Amino acid sequence: MSTDEGLSLDEGVRTLLLLMPRLVGRAKRMPVPEPLRMLDLAPRHLSLLSYLLFDGPLTVNELAARLEVAPATVSLMVGDLSRKGVVNRREDEADRRRTIVSIAETNREAVDAWLARGACAWRSALEPLTSEQRRVFVETLRSYERAVTGDGE
């Protein structure tokens, strides 16, 4: 592997083809905290909860835009999580047609614990980079996702 000039395209592809399955496998094995274990939460829930944890309470439409799914899909997810006591729903005082979603205080610590290991790992990996290098890295991952799903065509 070249170290003086970086990686060739083929070396980069090979390295990432070998690395990505390990990363995904390790992420899937991150233990779900005990209070959340019996709730049968899926990866899609993790993304929704991440937005609520990092950005605070959001409307269903804001969550839908961030998750890039239909508001009806988010409504179903929120309904499911609400029945399980993971999130709270309330009407927006300014506009009663809107629903504001937040993490239930009883589960905030468990949700934070579930996401903390991944957040700390990303912080450790991204911290040494410049803001421009971080932007390129994140955009590269987004580009890869689009190419894999066919959204880039």
Residue-level pLDDT at 26:
84
The tokens describing 110, both together, are: 């468990």
Segment 95-143, tens digit of pLDDT: 888 899 999 999 999 889 888 888 888 999 999 999 999 999 999 999 9
On the question of pLDDT at 153 being above 60, the answer is no
On the question of pLDDT at 60 being above 70, the answer is yes
Segment 4-59, tens digit of pLDDT: 578 899 999 999 999 999 988 888 787 778 888 888 887 778 889 999 999 999 99
The tokens describing 57, both together, are: 């309470």
User: What are the Cα distances from residue 98, in Å, to 110, 127, 139?
Assistant: 27, 37, 32
Segment 1-17, tens digit of pLDDT: 445 578 899 999 999 99
DSSP string, 64-92: HHHHTS-HHHHHHHHHHHHHTTSEEEEE-
